[in-house]
Structure 1
Amino acid sequence: MMNILCVAAHPDDIEILCAGTLVRYAQEGHKITFAVFTSGNMGDTFIPPEELGKIREKETREAAAIIGAKLIWGGVMDEHVFPDQQQRHLMIDILREADPDVIFTHSPNDYHPDHRYVSQLVFDSYFQKGLPFIPNQSKPACRFGQAQLYYMDNLGGIGFIPSEYVDISKVFSIKQQMLACHKSQVQAMQQLADTNLAEMVEVQARFRGLAAGCRYAEGFTRLDAYQRGLTKRVLP
């Protein structure tokens, strides 16, 4: 059994970009952890931030529960992710709590600064998670061993060329069910960006499926860097 961690900037990012793959891991008996770095509390022009943050957390917990995933709620203010010392400490603790064998996070060239900085924080915290004497950490060091890091697709697939695919055809309906838990986000995206999230997710999964040779797929790029190498496939 492996520990599978997905670190995303906002509520619903996991469901949009990685949920199908996480469903497949869960069905194989692996331990799944969702880590949502911000509360998503700035993502509406009508609902006040304090109220919205609570709504977004409740929706995320409902989505995670569908596959029995654990949720780590970072609680950082939405639209205020920065690769600074304070947020580095938080990310190290998130990685330590999950003790991952496989990590998914945003692509460094994603469209949103919160996505980009979460990605950088994951990269920067990778080694620190296993070093026991890093000061001012609230969680004990986890295993120092290799954890394979994969970058998730960008919204719309813009500027992203997957190196590996996961066939999610048989679990796509579960991915849709998880996304539907985010009612406040679905409504806000329709109002603010004229975007139908369910339609966007299906179109992108179908497009990636064309390249992968299946009905629906999610695409990823593996981070190839020193001490992150891999001689076998770990994606489902």
Structure 2
Amino acid sequence: MHVLAVVAHPDDAEIFCGGTLAKHAARGDDVTIAYMTRGEFGGFDTTEAELAATREEEARNAAAVLGADVTFLDFQDGRIVYTLENRLKLVDCIREHAPDIILTHFADDMHPDHRETSRLVTDAYYMVSLPLLEREHPPCDPTNVYYFGKPTSSFEPTVIVDVTDHEETKEQAALEHESQVAWLEEHGGIDAEFSDFVESMRATAHALGRQAGATYAEGFTRLHDTSVDYLE
């Protein structure tokens, strides 16, 4: 099985679906994280180029902890827009990796990059199997798209994944984003739900887990209500 997570920024994967990705990787599944941007707006007292390089290195280190491969799609942080050209870039990404399932952001989200990523991935998903759409890579047919959400959105998960045995790995991976630990803890207001980076992640996973009979869990909604053996 191949799982592809398409996220707007480095650290989004760890925060919202890191336990699920680690669980799939530990089982022997192929896991890839595609970063739309390098998160070059998320910092203080530096340049975009310097921060982009730092965050790419952190993303690679974090993905290694999770057991995932990485790819970068070279969109600009804070400036992801919906266009046909960008939708086709997502078609190319999905076809290149030919995943069985795709994970990405829930459409109703405060961050514009998250919203646009969700829309681009969803619409690209509908195009990746079209044989007459000729691109560099051949058509593929992922089974479904699973969406993860932020606590500040109207996200209500319908698929719960028990990540109890992988919560520690998720937290270790998140802490590889050293530049963001400081950024999210100091950037109150917009990101106030992350005033304590790892503790906030753990509390969210624990709260959802209690609802589902697990110590820690992550939640998703899916594009299609289909019969599947796992997202585990």
Greater shift, 35-44 or 157-166, is seen at 157-166
The answer for the alignment partner of 1:207 in structure 2 is 207
What aligned pairs does 1:10-25 form with structure 2 within 5 A after superposition? 10-25=9-24
Q: Distance in 2 between matches of 1:127 and 1:91?
A: 11
Matches within 5 A, 1:1-236: 2-134=1-133, 137=135, 139-143=136-140, 145-154=141-150, 156=151, 158-193=153-188, 195-224=195-224, 229-236=225-232
CA contact (8 A) 2:18 2:66 kept: no
- The whole-number CA distance in structure 1 between the counterparts of 2:118 and 2:154 is 16
Identity %: 36
The runs of at least 4 consecutive aligned structure 1 residues that moved more than 4 Å come to none
Contact 1:97–1:142 (CA under 8 A) maintained in structure 2: no
Letter in 2 for 1:206: H
Query: Aligned residues, how many?
Result: 227
Segments of 5+ residues of structure 1 without an aligned counterpart are none
* Unmatched runs of 5 consecutive residues or more in structure 2: none
Question: What do the CA deviations read for 1:159-188 (whole angstroms, capped 9, x no partner)?
Answer: 121111111111110000000000011111
User: RMSD of aligned C-alpha atoms?
Assistant: 1.5
Contact 2:66–2:170 at 8 Å: present in 1 too?
A: no
- Tell me: CA distance 1:146–1:73, structure 2 relative to 1, closer, same or farther (3 Å): closer
How far off its partner does 1:222 sit? 1.2
The TM-score with structure 1 as length reference comes to 0.91
Report the alpha carbon displacement of residue 18 of structure 1 after superposing the two structures with TM: 0.2
After TM superposition, the score normalised by the length of structure 2 is: 0.93
DSSP 3-state at the match of 1:130: coil
TM-aligned CA deviation for residue 133 of structure 1: 4.2
**Conserved in 2, the CA contact under 8 Å of 1:104 and 1:151?**
yes
CA deviations over 1:170-209 (Å, ceiling 9, x no partner): 1110000000000011111112226221111011001111
Supply the AA of the counterpart residue of 2:139.
C
* Contact 1:80/1:114 (8 A) holds in 2: yes
Contact 2:41 2:48 in 1 (8 A): yes
CA separation in 2, counterparts of 1:230 and 1:189? 37
